[in-house]
Amino acid sequence: MKKLVAILIVLAVFTAAFAQPSMYTNDPSTDADSAHQSLREISLDLFEREGSWNCRISPDSGIITGRLFDGGPFSDLDPEERAEEIKLPEEVKDSPNSKVYGVKIEFFKRGVNSFFITAARPIPVEGVAKTVSVWVAGRNQAHQLTLLVQDYFGNNFELYMGTLAFSGWRKMTVTVPVSPDGKRGIVQQSPFWGERPGLRIVGFRIDCDPETAYGQYYMYLDDLRAVTDLYSVENLDGDDPSDNW
């Protein structure tokens, strides 16, 4: 009987020891980092304005043309259903969103080629960007899409977004890596250098698959967005002087 009681006591102690840590397991939604974040999805560009985007390719590789077209993801739905599917950020729900930016390339010959789609001016992202996304119609070709950005100090970086080997529209998203120490990598903010946009979207580079880079190729872009942390922006005191002089 005494042995049975002893065994039960030991089991009870071990059960309590293993159960206790679960009471203190960190919840990622309530940890110290998230307590100082205010994440929001914001619109960067809807590709509605003529002249706001440019495209280029080496003159030895081919001829490139870019312009706006009517259409977009879920354009076959009525406006309310389309808005529900696309889930536009609140600040642009009532903005025009009927255009896309289309690019046509006429290759001179098959080979290793790249072409660029760039904003007329780099697009600043308010706050600290976490992800950047864009809707793409890639025409099911194995070309590779890369996002081009500039950080707080104007350094250029490339973020690989993925292959264009799919049919129809697809939302392509890339995560913006966090700088480990505020000095290396993509630095988006610094208390030592005043206030200015931390990340700027320069545009996109498309690296063509040599096996399919011939003839004509078409692609379309729409609805450029970012998920960004606006905590430092939203928690500024209204009477706090701006460090930008």
The domain that contains 57 carries what CATH number?
2.60.120.260
Render each residue's pLDDT in the chain as its tens digit; 245 residues. Answer: 555 545 555 555 555 544 444 333 444 444 445 556 789 999 999 999 999 999 999 999 999 999 999 998 977 777 667 666 777 776 666 667 889 999 999 999 998 999 999 999 999 999 999 999 999 999 999 999 999 999 999 999 999 999 999 999 999 999 999 998 888 899 998 777 666 668 999 999 999 999 999 999 999 999 999 999 987 765 666 666 766 66
- Whether residue 17 is contained in a domain is answered as no
DSSP letter (8 states) at residue 5:
H
Coil, strand or helix at 7: helix
Q: How far apart are the first and last CA of the chain?
A: 82
Counted domains in the chain = 1
Residues 46-78 as b or e (16 or more Cβ within 10 Å = b): bbbeeeebebebeeebbebebebeeebbeeeee
- Whether residue 96 is contained in a domain is answered as yes
Q: What is the pTM of this model?
A: 0.80
- Whether residue 24 is contained in a domain is answered as no
- Whether residue 20 is contained in a domain is answered as no
Classify burial at 129, counting beta carbons within 10 Å of its beta carbon; exposed 0-12, middle 13-18, buried 19 or more.
buried
- Whether residue 7 is contained in a domain is answered as no
Coil, strand or helix at 126: coil
The parent domain of residue 183 ranges over 34-234
- Whether residue 16 is contained in a domain is answered as no
Asked if residues 221 and 31 have their Cβ atoms less than 8 Å apart, the reply is no
Asked if residues 122 and 75 have their Cβ atoms less than 8 Å apart, the reply is no
- Whether residue 51 is contained in a domain is answered as yes
- Whether residue 13 is contained in a domain is answered as no
Which tokens in the block code for residue 236?
């500024």
Which tokens in the block code for residue 57?
């390719």
